[in-house]
Homo-oligomer: A and B are copies of this chain.
């Protein structure tokens, strides 16, 4: 089952299986600033993967939670005043403690001020950026093709994980294309938010952030395919993909991974 070293299409799935095993063994704490729509689903997805979520956005508390966490997720959905304040404090606390953090600039294509805030956050050095094509376009001002992605990753020293029909994960030097997943994933709210939370969990247990990001999207994509075979629609799919992440084993992940 193990592929020769150096073959990307086999190396990443193998690494993803290893990352999944580490999630279960280490149960990394992931502090999530995320929107009210996504909180419950995100927490359940993290628990299913083996991670331990916390969610407070209280300015009085968040620095302590970040200090005690293994990674931070900053999701800009439903970005109200309190969340904005929480983001500032949390990112400062993460930087000070040397913790990795992940940015998900939800809907910045719909909200220019939020896009400005996201651009300012990029200067505070997130480890990874998980977003969709419209959001990447709003953030970068460039196209959403591989070249634009790699340029942006290089300039900002960030791993870009771009969700789409095919997911792209690039760090400026390496790029992976993941074609797992199912159309139902776009019909469940907060699926992208949960993907970003899994990215945060994976960068907590894998030093190579590019591999960590690819592992997170592979895990979710393969789980999505398994769930789609069970589900009768987006309602049951939401529960089934959590079940599938929980039950996923490394062997299945390696067998079903479609990476190029």
| A binding-site residues for B, Cβ under 8 Å | 35-41, 43-44, 47-48, 53-61, 64-65, 68, 77-82, 107, 110-114, 187-190, 230-236, 238-244, 246-247
Contact = CB atoms under 8 A, between A and B. Distances in A.
Contacts of A112: 64
29 contacts: A35-B55, A36-B40, A36-B55, A40-B189, A40-B190, A43-B189, A44-B188, A44-B235, A44-B238, A48-B234, A55-B78, A56-B77, A56-B78, A57-B80, A60-B113, A61-B114, A64-B111, A64-B112, A65-B110, A187-B246, A232-B240, A233-B243, A233-B244, A234-B242, A234-B243, A235-B240, A235-B241, A235-B243, A235-B246
Contacts of A59: 80-81
B37 A55 contact: yes
Copies of this chain held together in the complex: 3
Nearest to A240: B235
A78 B64 contact: no
A74 B201 CA distance: 30
Nearest to A114: B61
Contacts of A114: 61
B234 A47 contact: yes
A58 B84 CA distance: 10
B233 A189 contact: no
A107 B54 contact: yes
Contacts of A53: 189
A156 to B, nearest CB: 24
Contact of A41 (B35, B40, B111, B187): B40
A127 to B, nearest CB: 23
Among A113, A235, A247, chain B packs the most CB atoms within 10 A around the CB of A235
A188 B236 CA distance: 15
Contact of A233 (B60, B238, B246): B246
A190 B41 CA distance: 11
B48 A235 contact: yes
A121 B36 CA distance: 25
Contact of A56 (B111, B232, B235): B111
Contacts of A38: 40
Contact of A236 (B79, B107, B239): B239
Nearest to A109: B68
Nearest to A79: B58
Nearest to A231: B243
B239 A243 contact: no
